[in-house]
Amino acid sequence: MDVLYFAWLRERIGAPRERVETNAATVGALVAELAARDDRHAAALSDLSAVRVAVDQDLADWDTPLAGAREIAFFPPMTGG
């Protein structure tokens, strides 16, 4: 699946996207796998209260199943104005 990073997450990880092969069942399990990859991923994903996620362009939460997902996007919370 494709994993996309936006804003400061992209800056901390050093890439806007990556292709990931995973057996993770949920978004939370995927986050744990990504954070274990290296220090950059760990730093970017250390405070999940400051991170939002979308699965196939639909807002999701950490318990959302990944079965059949093609794209996961991580981004900071958005504000309106």
25-56: pLDDT as tens digits: 999 999 999 999 999 999 999 999 999 999 99
pLDDT tier at 79 (50, 70, 90 boundaries)? Answer: low
Q: Report yes or no on 61 lying in a domain.
A: yes
Answer whether residue 80 is part of any domain: no
**Mean confidence (pLDDT) of the chain:** 95
- Structural domain harbouring 36: 2-75
- The CATH number of the domain holding residue 67 is 3.10.20.30
Structure-block tokens of residue 41: 């991923």
53 belongs to a structural domain: yes
What domain count does the chain have?
Answer: 1
